[in-house]
């Protein structure tokens, strides 16, 4: 049986360790990917620290996956062998809940989450539901594309919901998603106000470096004497 190297989590609060696992076989509608890159998300740390309490164990973490299709399972016809695709946190949605029925599958009541309910990308190979994979533009290198599959998707979804004709955006918190969407918004000629935790000057400076017009604390945290910029 062919095996692969993987970084395995046996239990929360324990280090990942290198393991030899069988290369998985794709089932109906699945593709087998040879992993090229996989980003590390803070959600991976929440799982590792036991703050997300229902992971599959033992578990291969990782949900910002870039890989090449090397095998297709039965009825999987969307991708050709050799195509490069991306795999996000949402590995599959039930398709029947109220959110899925109105096109909000990211809020699915019974999702299958990559690197949580099923093994993720901290391995040489992984499985993915072809319906929830994305073709990746050739202009992006593997390591550039990987973060876009989580932070990029989150940021762009909210950006799109804000509407096409918004002149000014307010972003609360300034992490991975915010720093990507700030660059998108500035490229579109929009103003960006970044709100951070009180005292988080590092995030505020980072926001300004990424193009934010202003960075500071949210209104509820301001002293009464505060005046707008």
| Residue at a domain's end among 82, 110, 142 | 142
Residue 226 maps to a domain: no
100 domain-assigned = yes
Same-domain check for residues 83 and 160: no
Number of H helices, E strands in the chain: 6, 13
Q: Where residue 115 sits, what CATH number does that domain have?
A: 3.90.180.10
- Would you state the pLDDT for residue 157? 87
- Share of residues in the chain with pLDDT > 90 (%): 81
Q: For the stretch 52-77, what's the b/e string if a residue is b when 16 or more beta carbons lie within 10 angstroms of its beta carbon? A: eeebeeebbbbbbbbbbbebbbeebe
CB 122 within 8 A of CB 146: no
**Number of folded domains in the chain?**
2
Domain boundary at 86, 118, 142, which?
A: 142
Residues 178 and 102 in one domain: no
Query: In this model, does residue 20 exceed pLDDT 90?
Result: yes
Q: In angstroms, what is the C-alpha Rg of the chain? A: 20
Under DSSP, is residue 122 helix (H, G, I), strand (E, B) or coil?
coil
Range of the domain at 87: 3-142
CATH at residue 201: 3.40.50.720
**Which pLDDT value is given to residue 84?**
98
54-100 tens-digit pLDDT: 999 999 999 999 999 999 999 999 999 999 999 999 999 999 999 99
pLDDT at position 211 is 93
Q: How far is CA 97 from the centre of its chain?
A: 22
- Residue 24's pLDDT is 97
Q: Are 162 and 204 found together in one domain?
A: yes
Q: Residue 140: how many CB atoms within 10 A of its CB?
A: 14
């Amino acid at each position: 049986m062919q095996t692969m190297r993987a970084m395995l989590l046996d239990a929360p609060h324990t280090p990942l360790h290198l393991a030899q696992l069988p290369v998985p076989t794709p089932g109906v509608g699945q593709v087998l990917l040879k992993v090229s890159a996989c980003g590390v998300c803070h959600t991976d740390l929440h799982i590792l620290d036991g703050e997300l309490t229902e992971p599959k164990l033992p578990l291969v973490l990782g949900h910002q996956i870039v890989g090449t299709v090397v095998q297709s399972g039965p009825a999987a016809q969307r991708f050709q062998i050799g195509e490069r695709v991306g795999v996000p946190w949402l590995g599959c949605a039930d398709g029947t809940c109220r959110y899925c029925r109105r096109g909000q599958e990211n809020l699915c009541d019974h999702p299958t989450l990559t690197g949580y309910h099923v093994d993720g990308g901290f391995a040489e190979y992984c499985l993915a539901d072809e319906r929830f994979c994305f073709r990746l533009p050739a202009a992006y290198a593997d390591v550039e594309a990987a973060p876009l599959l989580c932070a990029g998707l989150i940021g762009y979804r909210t950006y799109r919901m804000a509407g096409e004709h918004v002149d000014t955006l307010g972003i609360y918190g300034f992490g991975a998603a915010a720093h990507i969407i700030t660059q998108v918004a500035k490229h579109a000629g929009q103003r960006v106000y970044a709100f951070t935790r009180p005292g988080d000057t590092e995030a505020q400076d980072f926001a300004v470096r990424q193009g934010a017009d202003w960075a500071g604390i949210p209104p509820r945290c301001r002293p009464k004497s505060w005046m707008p910029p």
